[in-house]
Amino acid sequence: MSTTGKVIRCRAAILWKPGVPFSIEEVEVAPPKAKEVRIKIVATGLCGSEIKMLENKTSYLHYPVILGHEAAGIVESVGEGVSTVKTGDKVITLFLPQCGECASCLNPVDYLCTERKQSKSGLMSGGTSRFTCKGKPVYHFANTSTFSEYTVIKEISVAKIDAAAPLEKVCLVSCGFSTGYGAAINTAKVTPGSTCAVFGLGGVGLSVIMGCKAAGAARIIGVDINKDKFEKAKKLGATECINPQDLKKPIQEVLFDLTGAGVEFCFEVIGNPETVEAALASCHESHGVCVIVGLLTDVQLNISGSLFLSGRSLKGTVFGGWKSRESTSKLVSDYMAKKINLDPLITHTLNLDKINEAVELMKTGKCIRCILLP
């Protein structure tokens, strides 16, 4: 029986307030309004960004909220005026929209669609939510809210993909892989024969390594305090790995000693202000590029001005610099053509009702990426 135009009752993981575990609840998901799409979530990844938001109170969230932003699913129904996807299409959800009309979207080198700012309100068009639980509205998150069996998303935050794509794999293109891989390819523009360092070897950090390798870097140094991640990092392209806790000198001094002049491209994939300074200080004095990939919210950077008395540069990146809708389908096609391999990034698969177990796996460093199946 068709559910089009009807309220759907399903399960979702709700965060009722800061500092508490997720709660699996029955929610009501309203039909999509104009230019919106309702999606059956097939697979969603647990990203480090959610872990940081669980550990630290942030002004970015409104409560109660359904988190989740890295997912793939199937279009259940569409609202009035939707023209780029239809019921039954396989899609990737996008926390970074691409409206195709704003100044950023029309600029060939810009990718930060101005519509992304809408996500900070936690509400959809008209200032309302499409989720209800126990008679109360529940806030949306990052244009997506994928920790639910069904979600409603704007059309501009959905990308149609190859119908043959395995959604439990390509959901990583929704955030983690694209962010890391693109940070190397698009943001840093890693050059052939260069030396790179990657601080943080989680799913995004490993994707950075894959991007550096694809760009032709000659030396890729992985940096992490968890030695268990070194083997996989080397399989994906790292030429060597370092644990800062084993060193007698600061990591930036060690990297200078190893390279003779500092690395040409450095990536901070942790979201730690102190690590950002160390990563920048590890860069080559005349032309080193440091890219902040890790999530930094509600924090201030304290960086010595002396690091800029040189040719170093510090950059940020969102979604790896990709124009989201047009690039996502191409990355999925590259996976299908075996040009990129997402499989090694996935270490665990659990059902949505085990989300709190997945959080603990991530916190203990035993998990690279956990895929949650509703």
Can you give the pLDDT at residue 19? Answer: 85
Can you give the pLDDT at residue 43? Answer: 98
Cβ-contact 234, 214 below 8 angstroms: no
Task: Please state the rounded mean pLDDT for residues 293-297.
Answer: 86
**In terms of C-beta density within 10 A (0-12 exposed, 13-18 middle, 19 or more buried), how is residue 91 classed?**
buried
| Tens of pLDDT, residues 298-354 | 788 888 888 888 889 999 999 999 999 999 999 999 999 999 999 999 999 999 999
Q: How confident is the model at residue 173 (pLDDT cuts 50, 70, 90)?
A: very high
**For residue 207, what are its two tokens?**
């994707």
Whose tokens are 């460093």? That residue is: 365
Q: Are strands 219-223 and 240-242 parallel, antiparallel or unpaired?
A: parallel
Q: How confident is the model at residue 270 (pLDDT cuts 50, 70, 90)?
A: very high
Quote helix, strand, coil % in the chain, to nearest 5.
Answer: 30, 25, 45
Can you give the pLDDT at residue 97? Answer: 95
Cβ-contact 190, 211 below 8 angstroms: yes
Cβ-contact 150, 180 below 8 angstroms: no
Can you give the pLDDT at residue 327? Answer: 96
Can you give the pLDDT at residue 57? Answer: 62
Can you give the pLDDT at residue 143? Answer: 87
Structural domains in the chain, sorted by start: 177-297+304-320 (3.40.50.720), 342-373 (no CATH)
pTM of the model: 0.95
Task: Please state the rounded mean pLDDT for residues 240-267.
Answer: 95
Closest by Cα among 328, 330, 329, 324 to 102? 324
Strand order of the β-sheet with 313-316 is 240-242, 219-223, 195-199, 265-268, 289-292, 313-316
| Tens of pLDDT, residues 177-204 | 999 999 999 999 999 999 999 999 999 9
Average pLDDT of the residues of the chain: 94
